[in-house]
Amino acid sequence: MIIMAPVLLILLGATEILQVDLLPDEKISLLPPVNFTIKVTGLAQVLLHWEPNPDQEQRNVNLEYQVKINAPKEDDYETRITESKCVTILHKGFSASVRTILQNDHSLLASSWASAELHAPPGSPGTSVVNLTCTTNTTADNYSHLRPYQVSLHCTWLVGTDAPEDTQYFLYYRYGSWTEECQEYSKDSLGRNIACWFPRTFIRSRGRDWLAVLVNGSSKHSAIKPFDQLFALHTIDRINPPLNVTAEIEGTRLSIQWEKPVSAFPIHCFDYEVKIHNARNGYLQIEKMMTNAFISIIDDLSKYDVQVRAAVSSMCREAGLWSEWSQPIYVGKDEHKPLREWFLIVLMATICFILLILLLICRICHLWIKLFPPIPAPKSSIKDLFVTANYEKAGSVETEIEVISYIEKPGVETLEDSVF
């Protein structure tokens, strides 16, 4: 019994501690927040604000709040403060709810929801822009030491299907706390704005904030419905191609080098792809790497064209778009003959073939002798040339022999006939 007494005291103490922990959850009554409001603070940005319920029983507990976004896209999160900033599109309206919660390791207590809503902005259906797309690009600014790189912004869109002909659109962007209206537009045949160009912006190419773009409009015949959209920079940033690409061949080694693109990201923040095309057999080789040099074993009898492109590595930000390929660099021997040389070769081969056919035909049909008869050999140049022809006629009674002789002398010609 003496040994069991301390054990009982320990168990009773633990029970009392558990009851104290559970007491707030079992007896406290949670009330919803009050004065819940939604306020637009910028393009595609709202501020949610509420206050604790003044009738809420105060105890030594840490109350939290659960925020639930109902539209345009469902989301929920928890916070200890009484306001929350939310970046979201607003042309479809916005609604959210908040409630008081108390949680520990054993249970979760929650109040009822307090809700608020922003209605969609007015406008006739089919009048807002469609297919809004934007791209950013970084250029070097040699005149500014504070911002050595400038980011441009280019956006395009299509006119709403039911927008009147006199509709005019206007574009705004917001990045962080900066908001700008477009000053350089491109127009369609009816004079309506369909594209916008910002040569310089307040966008930081290495930033992680959302880019908010709003396009509204006006018309004398209809209310134009506004349209806003959010862009993550890594999905629209058009990286520049690598600089100073060089390629050299030493025997069967092809060495390629380049420099990083014009970008605010440092040299270690880029992935590269090298494309090597064999012009003789059409073989295409693409290699991916993180360095700015590459060596390949090649056939030294072929000509190659080499290109490189770049993308920001996932080590420095989320994976995005690849740049365009650099201008091709040509190295190696050119085995392709010019068109003129090929024409001459084909022509000579055709002529030789035709001549060969004609010779075969002449040989078969003896046309060569008929066309070109043999030239008789020259006579002997001795003083006298004798030609004798003898004819013999044999009979049973008599024999007749006729001999004809020609004797040629310079200036004199004698004919003797003897008949026997």
- Phi, psi dihedrals of residue 115, rounded to the nearest 5°: -125, 155
For residue 341, the model assigns a pLDDT of: 64
For residue 58, the model assigns a pLDDT of: 74
For residue 419, the model assigns a pLDDT of: 37
How far from 101 is each of 21, 25, 29, 85, 297, CA to CA, in Å?
A: 16, 11, 10, 20, 66
Question: What token pair was written down for 273?
Answer: 């792809």
Residue 384, classified by CB atoms within 10 Å of its CB into exposed (0-12), middle (13-18) or buried (19+), is exposed
Compute the distance between CA of residue 117 and CA of residue 94 in angstroms, rounded to an integer. 6
For residue 105, the model assigns a pLDDT of: 72
Q: Which of 90, 88, 168, 159 is nearest to 128 (CA)?
A: 159
183 φψ region: left (φ > 0), alpha (ψ -120 to 50), beta (else)? alpha
The per-residue pLDDT string of the chain (420 residues; one tens digit each, 9 = 90 and over) reads 444 444 444 444 444 443 444 444 456 789 999 999 999 999 999 999 999 999 888 777 788 999 999 999 999 999 999 999 999 999 999 999 999 998 877 788 899 999 999 999 999 999 999 999 999 999 998 776 678 899 999 999 999 999 999 999 999 999 999 999 999 999 999 999 999 999 999 999 899 999 999 999 999 999 999 999 999 999 999 999 999 999 999 988 999 999 999 999 999 999 999 999 998 888 999 999 999 999 999 887 889 999 999 999 999 999 899 999 999 999 987 655 556 666 778 888 898 888 888 777 776 766 656 666 666 655 555 444 444 444 444 444 444 434 334 434 444 443 344 433
Alpha carbon of residue 267 to chain centroid:
21
Q: Quickly count: other Cβ atoms within 10 Å of residue 417's Cβ.
A: 8
Compute the distance between CA of residue 193 and CA of residue 157 in angstroms, rounded to an integer. 9
For residue 342, the model assigns a pLDDT of: 65
**Four-CA torsion 240, 242, 243, 249, nearest 10 degrees:** -150
Compute the distance between CA of residue 56 and CA of residue 387 in angstroms, rounded to an integer. 158
The residue whose two tokens read 């022509």 is: 347
95 and 116 Cβ atoms separated by less than 8 Å: yes
Largest CA distance in the chain: 188
- Phi, psi dihedrals of residue 245, rounded to the nearest 5°: -75, 130
For residue 406, the model assigns a pLDDT of: 40
For residue 417, the model assigns a pLDDT of: 41
Compute the distance between CA of residue 265 and CA of residue 402 in angstroms, rounded to an integer. 124
Compute the distance between CA of residue 255 and CA of residue 295 in angstroms, rounded to an integer. 5
**How many residues are listed for the chain in this entry?**
420
Residue 215, classified by CB atoms within 10 Å of its CB into exposed (0-12), middle (13-18) or buried (19+), is buried
Strand order in the sheet with 83-87: 34-42, 45-51, 83-87
For residue 128, the model assigns a pLDDT of: 97
What percentage of the chain carries pLDDT values higher than 70?
A: 77
Could you tell me which residues come within 8 angstroms of residue 323 by beta carbon, excluding any fewer than 6 positions away? 238, 239, 240, 241, 242, 261, 309, 310, 311
Compute the distance between CA of residue 112 and CA of residue 70 in angstroms, rounded to an integer. 15
